[in-house]
Amino acid sequence: MPARAAEKFIARCTQSTAALAEAAVAQLVERYPISACCVLTASGKPLPDLKSILASHALIHAAEGDFYRDAVAAACERRSVAVRRVRERDIESELQALPLTAEQARARIAEMGKKLGPPWTQDEKFAASGAWLTLASLPSRRRRG
């Protein structure tokens, strides 16, 4: 797809994705007392220009991931849900800030997996860890609702 057409396509996708993310977050906020959202990120390196992204299969996937993470984060922020971004590679070091050892934190994450059942892959462990870190970082531990 030529760059100009890609820009127009991405603009349309941005609008529709924002609307879908907004609707999904609205449903969650109406149903549950959500106070925060953790968005797990990849390396955190800034993406190059669109032409460079379109020339690289790997960069297309990286940009797609950022695109959807940004849509969810923006929808949460519009609903006054605190958003914290955590790089996956930083989770292990951030767990050390909790008032327990990293080993104890990993054991609790593993216990969550046993209670919740499969799948409990690295993705689910990262998500649970990120959620825990996000809740622990809130100024007030009291939840809405």
CATH of 3-137, one of 3.30.420, 3.30.2320, 1.10.10, 2.130.10: 3.30.420
Residue 43 in this model has a pLDDT that exceeds 90? no
pLDDT tens for each residue of 48-93: 998 899 899 999 999 999 999 999 999 999 999 999 999 988 988 8
* Whether the bond into 119 is cis, omega within 30 of 0: yes
- Domain spans of the chain? 3-137
- Higher local confidence (pLDDT), 145 or 2: 2
Tell me the whole-structure pTM to 2 decimals. 0.82
Q: How confident is the model at residue 141 (pLDDT cuts 50, 70, 90)?
A: low
pLDDT (mean) for 89-106: 86
pLDDT at 76: 97
